[in-house]
Amino acid sequence: MQEAELDTYLADSISGYADDKVKAGSWSPEEALERSRVEFKRYLPEGVNSPGQHLYCIVDTGQDVTVGMLWFGVMHDSPRPYAFIYELRIFELFQDQGYGKQAMLALEAEVKAMGLDTISLHVFGHNPAARALYDRLGYEVTDLNMSKKL
């Protein structure tokens, strides 16, 4: 991903992440956008050159069109480093065409080439399509938060 592509991505993702956190009940609508900006700045302080962060455009080379994006970081907060997916996004026009699965399989090869043996991620409970993709690819629940509105 180039810096201009990152700028376009951030314009949409910062607000989308804020909306997801509000839907999940984690943040209030009043604070969500600013909290999202702060988190993105913390993880991507130097844009596409941020240490330990890997940002990719997902491109259908046959059609020469960008169909989505993928962002992961290398984490060192456990005994062994691992890859953590911050976001996999397939643009709406290209969803349900296998691009997400292809991107995840390509990511697995990339992560193995980096000498890592684990990929972790977070899925919002209100995103069953993402959960279904990860289930099909063999991802297992390692932690589960649940809430009940009263």
Read off the pLDDT of residues 77-123 as tens digits, 9 standing for 90 and up. Answer: 889 999 999 999 999 999 999 999 999 999 999 999 999 999 999 88
For residue 143, the model assigns a pLDDT of 84
Pairing state between β 53-60 and 119-121: unpaired
Phi then psi for residue 61, to 5 deg, are: -70, -25
Read off the pLDDT of residues 126-137 as tens digits, 9 standing for 90 and up. Answer: 888 888 989 999
- Range 52-140: architecture per CATH: 3-Layer(aba) Sandwich (3.40)
Question: For the stretch 4-29, what's the b/e string if a residue is b when 16 or more beta carbons lie within 10 angstroms of its beta carbon?
Answer: eebeebbeebbeebbebbbeeeebee
CA angle 141, 78, 41 (to 5 degrees): 85
